[in-house]
Structure 1
Amino acid sequence: MVPCIWYASKIAHPWERAMIGNMGAALRARGVGLSIYTDGGTTDFCLDGVLSWRALTLLERMRLILSSAGALWHLWGKAPRWWGLVRVRSRTVHTSWLPDPAWRGHPSRIFTEQADDGETVVKPTFESRLVHTEESAGVPPDGSRAVYVKLASASAPLREAVAALNSPVVDLGMGRVGASAAKSGCFISGDGPSEALHAAALTMQGLAVVGPDTPYLHSLLGDEGYFSVGEDREEAWKEAISQAISDRGRALAISARHMIKTRYSASESADSLEAMYRSVLEGSV
């Protein structure tokens, strides 16, 4: 495999950056020469050797672009203005989970449901090692089962349901939760692809998931891997959340975590990336 250079633009959420870092670690474990540059901060990638593009001088950036002819570049997110300089000298791959992106390289998706135009689907992978710590931000100190939710984007019926529960509530809009700290309780997911990635990441940390009936959650967690809410009504949310923070929810979270570890393992993720890269380099896509 030729050297590979990843460029991650301004990725919106920390769990998306962590996913990219996990996929990079899976590829490096295969012995692939991989350099990773990001337009934002480097800590959320949870991977050593991620470099800040902004820290490079203009001369260093140009030298890297011009000297990397023959390498394969993988763009994550929105293309920077200078990306055309890369494309005229190297094969390029572009991964996005946003709707209707302007592709700037061979198009690839994280979800089959978004690959309507024949984009290549690559498998994500998620951190499976849990850290038990009493200092993780946002974790209830008494170890009780909490409801993790982003209240700012919650609907009125969901907010009312959460307020009526006799359980600790962790507002994910009020600060960052430890990336791999073990948790107990449930996570309230939205219906988009990014929210589904967040749900999978938190499932790996021990949470059961409650969310709308969406193909993205089905893809990552399985048809019976989360508590589905068919209607945006207070009673529907209360019933699903009550089950999720019960012993049934704990059992379902264990089952969903096992499925993610099996279907979205580091090995499966690396296989999907290597297969795509071989096709792009051989010109068969």
Structure 2
Amino acid sequence: MAKIECCWYIGGSLLPWEASVAGTLARALIRSGAILHAYSGAGTDLLNIPGLLSWHSMHTMERAAAAGTKGRLWHLWGTPPSWWGLVRLRARTVHTRFSLKTEWKGHPTVLSATECSGGETYIPPAFEIKVNWGGETQGQASPGDESLLCLFAGETSGESDYSSLLTNMGADFRLLGRGGEEAMQYLSSGRTMLLVENPVPSLALLSANGALMGVPTAAPRSPVMDELLGKDGYVHLDPDAGIEEKRRTVTLLAGEGGRAASAAARRHVSEQFTPEKGAKKLENLYLSLSGGER
């Protein structure tokens, strides 16, 4: 079988849990024997890809040579850089986007089957447990701190209701920051739970990462959450419910219901989204686009 060789550019637009999925797929590809030349438009720690280069660390001639001459197959992750058109003039390209606002700039690939509307290739995401997600975050729970933390991920219309309920339970709550840098640290810090009122594929990836660390999620029933966590892998909530129903949901999430859902999600993620499965799908796609034999 032909040797697979591909250049990756991982844009700076990726959130930490999205970068984690990309890095896990890259490592699985390398283990399978693929030759991967990877460049990052942001940090390199979360990606943890062998041989990864920071694009900004390269001098002008290195960047020009990479974009202008290196590789006949490139895979773009996230928002395209200004020089991406130069690559597309001479190489075949694959594009994985994480926002519907990003225009396709290569063969379209998605990490959720629910996003397939015609022509996209579905790549199963991959997850690995990672205990340490970087530096300490202000307010992060210490190993001996048993207080419960609820992390609000994405848009929410019921912040005041939930914050009041959680305060009465003696729990802390935080809104997930725009960049999400602190999210993965909180997930691994101890007694954390996620609340997602508006499920989207990116937040489903976050919840799947959390499930591997024992973090339960509450979200409205949706195809993308069913796909990533399993139908029994999260506590179902109704964003339009009254205060008593929200109280019941939060109590369930913080108790045995949340633990049972988290365990079910962990089994689902571990069994359905192995790194090898996603890497194999990428291998087949790369071979198809490059004209190689499978």
The two structures share one fold, judged by TM-score above 0.5: yes
Give, in whole Å, the separation in 2 of the partners of 1:13 and 1:151: 12
Q: Partner of 2:207: helix, strand, or coil? A: helix
Cα distance, 1:117–1:145 mapped onto 2, change above 3 Å: farther
The aligned residue for residue 4 of structure 2 is 2
Normalising by the residue count of structure 2, what TM-score does the alignment of the two structures yield?
0.85
Query: 1:39 aligned to 2:48?
Result: no
The aligned residue for residue 284 of structure 2 is 275
Normalising by the residue count of structure 1, what TM-score does the alignment of the two structures yield?
0.87
Which deviates the most, 144-153 or 57-66?
A: 144-153
Give, in whole Å, the separation in 1 of the partners of 2:253 and 2:65: 53
The alpha-carbon deviation at position 164 of structure 1 amounts to: 1.8
Amino acid at match of 2:163: V
Give, in whole Å, the separation in 1 of the partners of 2:102 and 2:44: 24
Amino acid at match of 1:250: R
Q: Is the 8 A contact 1:185 1:244 kept in 2?
A: no
1:231 to 232, 239, 253: 239
Superposition pairs of residues 104-183 of structure 1, within 5 angstroms: 104-130=105-131, 138-139=140-141, 141-144=143-146, 146-150=148-152, 153-155=155-157, 157-165=158-166, 166-171=169-174, 173=176, 176=182, 177-178=184-185, 181=188, 183=190
Q: Partner of 1:178: helix, strand, or coil? A: helix
The aligned residue for residue 199 of structure 1 is 207
Give, in whole Å, the separation in 2 of the partners of 1:204 and 1:163: 29
The aligned residue for residue 85 of structure 2 is 84
Q: Partner of 1:5: helix, strand, or coil? A: strand
Query: 1:186 aligned to 2:193?
Result: yes
Q: How many residues align?
A: 280
The alpha-carbon deviation at position 265 of structure 1 amounts to: 0.8
Give, in whole Å, the separation in 1 of the partners of 2:170 and 2:234: 19
Q: Is the 8 A contact 2:143 2:189 kept in 1?
A: no
The alpha-carbon deviation at position 147 of structure 1 amounts to: 3.4
The alpha-carbon deviation at position 221 of structure 1 amounts to: 0.5
Cα distance, 1:167–1:152 mapped onto 2, change above 3 Å: farther
1:37-77 CA distance string (max 9 Å, x none): 1211222224443221112122111112233243x210011
Cα distance, 1:182–1:162 mapped onto 2, change above 3 Å: same
The alpha-carbon deviation at position 160 of structure 1 amounts to: 1.6
The aligned residue for residue 215 of structure 1 is 223
The alpha-carbon deviation at position 5 of structure 1 amounts to: 1.0
Q: Is the 8 A contact 1:140 1:146 kept in 2?
A: no
Give, in whole Å, the separation in 2 of the partners of 1:6 and 1:29: 16
Q: Partner of 1:44: helix, strand, or coil? A: coil
1:188-233 CA distance string (max 9 Å, x none): 1241221111111111111111012222211100112101113333
Give, in whole Å, the separation in 1 of the partners of 2:154 and 2:276: 36
Give, in whole Å, the separation in 1 of the partners of 2:67 and 2:186: 33
**Identical aligned residues as a percent:** 29
Amino acid at match of 1:171: R
Give, in whole Å, the separation in 2 of the partners of 1:46 and 1:168: 34
Cα distance, 1:237–1:127 mapped onto 2, change above 3 Å: farther
Cα distance, 1:206–1:151 mapped onto 2, change above 3 Å: closer
Q: Partner of 1:75: helix, strand, or coil? A: strand
Name structure 1 gaps, 5 residues minimum: none
Amino acid at match of 2:221: D
Q: Is the 8 A contact 2:187 2:215 kept in 1?
A: no
Give, in whole Å, the separation in 2 of the partners of 1:224 and 1:211: 12
Give, in whole Å, the separation in 2 of the partners of 1:21 and 1:262: 19
